[in-house]
Structure 1
Amino acid sequence: MATREISDAQSPDFAHALRSLHESRLRPEVRLTEVPAPSRLAPHAVAMTADIVDASDGEDLATGRFVLLHDPSEPEPWGGAWRVVTFARAELEPEVAGDPMLSAVGWSWLTDALQAHGITPGNLAGTVTRVVSESFADLEEREPDVEMEIRASWTPADSAVGVHLQAWVDMLGTVGGLPPLPAGVTALPGRRR
């Protein structure tokens, strides 16, 4: 991840949060990039995009955005001074298009990843959307395209937010079809672009 200059001058808590994000150990299949953050949602914000890349052919398996907001005034809807806002998207196999449990399974991928990292999120909220595009007429021989989108937000307890990024990236990997790492196994650091 491109590293922004971290300064304690503006907000020591936010500077700690940035360090926590930058020190996160992520799977080698993850390409993480810092992008401009929304400027009107909170006094302090950082945003990153992540792509899960297939090591064999370089194909993007899933993509998403992770935004960390910090407002020391603790907005009432957040229930704290921090808010994580996420988005994840991936194409799925056509045979899952009609599965009535698909949205519930997608949500469980997020909650399971948070739980696996010991996170009890405050004020957790979100949606899972599946989009099925079917072709007709001259295109009717095409398989349906199935996409899943998971949008979620929650309130971390403090500025140690690197673990929240790790959990979200693990969920993004699951959405993209990566097998989970066995318990107790840490991915070796890969080259991040």
Structure 2
Amino acid sequence: MGMHTLRHDDATYFADVVETVKAAAVRPQVHLTEVPAPRRIAPHAVAFSAEVIDPKNADDVLGTGRFVLLHDPASPEAWHGTWRIVTFARAELESEMATDPALGAVGWDWLLESLKDADAIYSAEAGTVTRVVNESFGGLGERPSSVELEVRASWTPDESNIAAHLLGWSNLMCTVAGLPPVPEGVTALPGRF
């Protein structure tokens, strides 16, 4: 999306950017839903929740997440710009990954690679990667152990193509959920809202 001639503090400008983001071509396994956005963080905000659906079983949710786009013309110092994206992506992994000491770094690398592959230019990135190991005991002792990975991140997007950031984040969700990458030359269809 090119630069707008509208003033950057104009609500119309924000609405135009949001429409471009909603038109982003995410993978068909990613189901996006607009949800109420936080109101106290920035004057302009939009939020989407997402589910990654198993392509073999539409009733099986492989991962969940949230994408929040914030805009504050006052350019909060911590943001290093007038836009900020705040996200998380969560999915269950194979239990043998629980003991991998590099899992946190791998999760963060998945985020950075997903943004790079989507040509999403950013700065001031920050975040955490958390793994939770669930072990069952007693009457539930027969349940296998499970591992959940959650990548929480925020960054300042280059405003020339904010839709690329939704695309990159949705690809991260698919990676965390265990879906193989989309083959080169294949184009995803616009996500469902």
- The yes-or-no answer on 1:55 pairing with 2:85 is no
- Which structure is higher in helix share? 2
Partner AA of 1:56 in structure 2: K
Aligned counterpart, 2:112: 111
Helix, strand or coil: the match of 1:27?
coil
- The yes-or-no answer on 1:20 pairing with 2:20 is yes
- Contact 1:14/1:159 (8 A) holds in 2: no
- The yes-or-no answer on 1:81 pairing with 2:82 is yes
Aligned counterpart, 2:125: 124
Deviation at 1:154, TM superposition (A): 0.2
Deviation at 1:143, TM superposition (A): 1.1
Partner AA of 1:53 in structure 2: I
Aligned counterpart, 1:185: 186
Q: C-alpha root-mean-square deviation of aligned residues, in Å? A: 1.7
- 1:119-174 Cα offsets, whole Å, 9 max, x none, are 23210000000000112233222211210010000001215311100000000000
Tell me the number of residue pairs that the alignment of Structure 1 and Structure 2 aligns: 185
- 1:18-40 Cα offsets, whole Å, 9 max, x none, are 12112101111111000000000
Write out aligned runs for 1:168-183 (5 A): 168-183=169-184
- 1:73-122 Cα offsets, whole Å, 9 max, x none, are 00000000000000111011111111111111111110000111222321
Aligned counterpart, 1:46: 46
- Contact 2:120/2:158 (8 A) holds in 1: no
Aligned counterpart, 2:3: none
Aligned counterpart, 2:149: 148
Percentage of identical aligned residues: 55
Which 5+ residue runs of structure 1 have no aligned equivalent? Answer: 1-7
C-alpha separation between the residues in 2 aligned to 1:172 and 1:165?
10
Partner AA of 2:90 in structure 1: R
- Contact 2:64/2:91 (8 A) holds in 1: yes
Using the size of structure 1 for normalisation, the TM-score is: 0.90
Which 5+ residue runs of structure 2 have no aligned equivalent? Answer: 1-7
